[in-house]
Amino acid sequence: MRLLRGAWKVLVGIKDALVLLLLLLFFGLLYMVLTASPNPVVPGEGALHLDLDGVIVEQPENINPFDALTGAETVPQHRLRDIVQALETAATDDRVSAVALDLDGFLGGGQTAVARVADAIQTVRDADKPVIAYATGYGDDAYALAAHASEIWVHPMGGALVLGPGGSRLYYGDMLRRFGVNVNVFRVGEFKSAVEPFSESEQSPEAREANQALADTLFEAWREDVARARPEADLDAIIATPADLVEAANNDLATAARETGMVDEIGTRADWQARLAELAGEDADTGFQAIRLANWIAANPRQGGGTNIGVVTVAGTIVDGEAPPGTAGGETIAELLREASQNHDFSALVVRVDSPGGSALASERMRRAVLQFSEAEGDIPVVVSMGNLAASGGYWVAMAGDHIMAEPGTITGSIGVFSVIPTFEGTLDQLDIGADGVTTTPLSGEPDIFGGLSPEAARLIQSGTEDIYRRFLSLVSENRSIPVERVAEIAEGRVWAGGTARQLGLVDAFGTMDDAIAEAASRAEVEADDVRILWIEQPPDPFAEFIRNWTREDEDAQQTSAPRDIWTMLAPDPRAILATVTAEMQLLLDGPAMQLRCLECPVEVLPGRSSAAEETTLQTMLMAWLRG
């Protein structure tokens, strides 16, 4: 009987596998049929519905199709270049009579990315086309976009608040010591505060000084842009005494926002749609004649000539080996460049960096891959374009460039190195567990996480850390033509905003991605009209794309997520906090790998969008514990 039961289980398993295979083939064939059809139809005239529910990113991550099928929570991601392209083409196309800037559910995307979208919105305004913004509640990022609109609408129960950069982070030093965990820290750089959360209970004076300077610089840039775009807004009063203003408006946040010039109109979503219907025509389903963003992007690809300029993106945490989009795998980027060089001829290369750094080895792997690509194509020029972040390992990669462009809000620098190794000899003592063994050399069994690091191992790891730092300084000195002594003064792991970095010589000029492409064309002596952009990147998973589009509700028919009221913005999202904690604990457990990483940089970790390539076992355990 056991034999029969075993055979039956095997047959059932084969049957289940065949059913799954047939389902995958069915969906794959259905996707090919649907994608073989012409581009989505764009109506003759209407308002471009710019629904920014979710986040703006440099490079969207692949969506797990089974998450989409099971309804697991994911954060919608909008590619920055697609949003900018959509707005800039809408500015000059007669089919677009207005832009419906829908900011309900907008979660941000970093100050530099948001500023780039704001510039594109301003391009529409400059073309004498109305941009009508709507949100239940406006925070800093949403308002930075809305300030460039011709009309700003807010829900009667909503409002607008200026929060500004800053806030608290967790420090685990005392907790780890309580459990007997000894955090062995190896670092170079006075301001390399990335490891402080693992060893201290609060930030050091050096870290506080650097973090405060960075926050002040970023806030001033935000304030200047909003004041320029929305001069009627009383920003000074809104920032200094928000509670006084709300109390003076009978505790009505929406009324306070209108009286201080932050918004123009108070109304529901239906009122906003009726206003758009006046400009773009009525529609029974959506309230106004809407042009879907996805359709508009598909119908307006970027045009180009015959001379290829490549663009490779280094986005997300830098890791060794291969990694999916949204994480920068050293081998993945190198292989993409190698294949592109074999298949095409290029006149220049633009390296787009939006990364807080990561593995020192992977950073060097990518830097050398860029240099090899340039050499294989005949020593073509390489221009680096920095996005929100190009810090630490991201800055190391940038050292492959002939010319570096950033924006005032870019966060860069963080020239420093660290490694952190937890050992658990104190934990074992608390549990009355012994650890003993034999050795044949001073390095046998090192790093010994049970008995503690030997002095010899600790000296070697510190020597390796100092060697990487020396190489970093030399690399910057050679690329930036700055004496190494001067590099040492502005390094020390300190983070700089783009404006300060330019003054220090860490970058060459301000400019957007398009400016970097124009600079690359100029250095290659190519006319701007003759440039064709080839994106050197991993193609999206077709099956995942199909499932995502299939399960997504019509964005014009209803909201894809609940609106964010003004109070939601004030409350921290516990899921995002958990994602951050688990990412930091994973870094602690990753071992002695040399890290060129800027953990002090303001990187948003959102539910469904982790900085790690895969969900960790630790995160799974913590989620199970929280669920009770």
Contacts of 626 by beta carbon, 8 Å cutoff, 6+ apart: 578
Query: Alpha helices of 483-573 — where are they, by DSSP H?
Result: 484-490, 498-504, 513-523, 542-551, 566-570
| Closest to 492 in 3D by CA, of 210, 189, 208 | 189
**384 with 516: CB under 8 angstroms?**
yes
Is the backbone peptide bond immediately before 325 cis, with ω within 30 degrees of 0?
Answer: no
Q: Helix 80-92 to helix 111-126 angle, to the nearest 10 degrees?
A: 10
DSSP bridge pairs for 131: 99
The β-bridge relationship of strands 265-266 and 151-160 is: parallel
**489 with 347: CB under 8 angstroms?**
no
Contacts of 151 by beta carbon, 8 Å cutoff, 6+ apart: 130, 131, 132, 133, 264, 265, 275
**321 with 352: CB under 8 angstroms?**
no
Name the residue type at position 540.
P
DSSP bridge pairs for 100: 49, 132
For the chain, how big is the Rg over CA atoms in Å?
Answer: 26
- Residue where the block lists tokens 């006319």: 527
**350 with 520: CB under 8 angstroms?**
yes
DSSP state of 284: T
Q: Which two tokens stand for residue 24?
A: 């995958």
Got the DSSP string for 268-319? -HHHHHHHHHHHH---TTTSS-EEEHHHHHHHSPPP--SEEEEEEEEES-EE
**Residue 335 three-state SS:** helix
The β-bridge relationship of strands 509-510 and 403-406 is: parallel
Q: Which two tokens stand for residue 52?
A: 């920014």
DSSP state of 326: T
Q: Which two tokens stand for residue 79?
A: 């590619």
The β-bridge relationship of strands 411-413 and 495-497 is: antiparallel
Q: Please tell me the distance from the alpha carbon of residue 14 to that of residue 8, in angstroms, as a whole number.
A: 10
| Closest to 294 in 3D by CA, of 121, 50, 89, 75 | 50
CA distances from 190 to 215, 472, 491, 494, 600 (A): 19, 15, 9, 8, 14
**393 with 363: CB under 8 angstroms?**
yes
Active site residues: 192, 392
Name the residue type at position 376.
A
| Closest to 160 in 3D by CA, of 230, 111, 212, 221 | 230
- Residue where the block lists tokens 């514990």: 625
**343 with 305: CB under 8 angstroms?**
no
Q: Please tell me the distance from the alpha carbon of residue 206 to that of residue 281, in angstroms, as a whole number.
A: 58
Q: Which two tokens stand for residue 193?
A: 């505060």
DSSP state of 565: -
Give the number of other Cβ atoms within 10 Å of residue 452's Cβ: 17
